[in-house]
């Protein structure tokens, strides 16, 4: 996964996004390719960042099949960071999605993510910092009917993540961790590698 963000100098505006490739078995059996980007706005004298953006998602099937399905998604989010004490970096993310999933009716989804980063060898997330990274995200469907007499649960999924990170520079961080994902019908774990880049 590659996450990027940029705030323009002397401006409230910027952009952000991410590229994620997920594989069923490590390499060679694509589970999902997600491309997402948005325009950001941060009000004066505020830590809050608002984003409006677009995502394109291609989802593959498990095993030898090369079949895939597509989704186009528009989203809006609010990112609210704060620091508790000297080492606890907490961020709240509220996201609302409008989803155009192949062979389904129009859908919406609500997401809330609580992130926590804790530097170990430093008090700040600056160059050479080693840190713990944790998050939990819950997904709630906006509607349960998805067309052709098919339904989904109101509760979509929950993701819990635990990882470790290293700040290569003040603007580039690497993370390695484990994410556990659960829905009403199934659960699975995923190993995650991510690069976080601030321009």
DSSP string, 118-154: EESSSSSS-TT-EEEEEEEEEEEES-SEEETTEE--S
User: What one-character DSSP code corresponds to residue 104?
Assistant: S
User: What one-character DSSP code corresponds to residue 10?
Assistant: T
User: Is the predicted pLDDT of residue 85 greater than 80, yes or no?
Assistant: yes
According to the model, what pLDDT value does residue 65 have?
80
According to the model, what pLDDT value does residue 66 have?
81
What is the Cα–Cα distance from 117 to 164, expressed in whole angstroms?
9
CATH numbers and ranges of domains, the chain: 2-198 (2.40.160)
How far are the Cα atoms of 20, 29, 102 from residue 64, in angstroms, in the given order? 21, 8, 21
**Mean pLDDT of all residues belonging to the chain:** 96
User: Is the predicted pLDDT of residue 191 greater than 80, yes or no?
Assistant: yes
User: What one-character DSSP code corresponds to residue 61?
Assistant: P
As a whole number, mean pLDDT of residues 77-93 equals 96
As a whole number, mean pLDDT of residues 39-56 equals 97
Contact of 192 with 177, CB cutoff 8 Å: yes
As a whole number, mean pLDDT of residues 37-63 equals 95
As a whole number, mean pLDDT of residues 59-85 equals 92
As a whole number, mean pLDDT of residues 165-174 equals 98
What is the Cα–Cα distance from 192 to 135, expressed in whole angstroms?
13
Confidence of residue 27 (pLDDT cuts 50, 70, 90): confident
Four-CA torsion 25, 29, 31, 35, nearest 10 degrees: 120
Contact of 75 with 38, CB cutoff 8 Å: yes
pLDDT above 90 coverage of the chain, percent: 92
E-strand ranges in the chain read 2-7, 13-23, 30-41, 49-60, 68-84, 88-101, 107-119, 130-141, 145-147, 150-151, 155-167, 172-182, 187-198
User: Is the predicted pLDDT of residue 3 greater than 80, yes or no?
Assistant: yes
For the entire predicted model, the pTM comes to 0.94
User: Is the predicted pLDDT of residue 9 greater than 80, yes or no?
Assistant: yes
- Tokens representing 40 are 């950001």
């Amino acid at each position: 996964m590659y996450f990027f963000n940029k705030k323009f100098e002397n401006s409230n505006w910027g952009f952000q996004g991410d590229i994620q490739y997920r594989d069923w078995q490590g390499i060679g059996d694509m589970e999902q390719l997600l491309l997402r980007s948005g325009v950001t706005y941060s009000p004066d004298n505020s830590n809050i960042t608002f984003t409006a953006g677009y995502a394109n998602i291609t989802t593959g099937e498990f095993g030898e099949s090369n079949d895939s399905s597509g989704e186009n998604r528009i989203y809006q989010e609010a990112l609210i960071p704060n620091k508790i004490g000297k080492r606890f970096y907490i961020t709240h993310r509220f996201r609302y999605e409008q989803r155009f999933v192949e062979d389904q009716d129009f859908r919406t989804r609500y997401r809330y993510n609580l992130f926590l980063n804790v530097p170990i060898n430093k008090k700040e997330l600056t160059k050479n910092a080693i840190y713990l990274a944790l998050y939990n995200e819950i997904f709630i469907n906006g509607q349960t009917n998805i067309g052709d007499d098919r339904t989904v649960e109101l509760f979509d999924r929950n993701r819990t993540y635990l990882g470790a990170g290293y700040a290569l520079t003040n603007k580039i961080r690497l993370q390695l961790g484990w994410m556990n994902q659960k829905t009403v019908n199934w659960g699975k774990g995923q190993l995650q590698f991510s690069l976080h880049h601030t321009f």
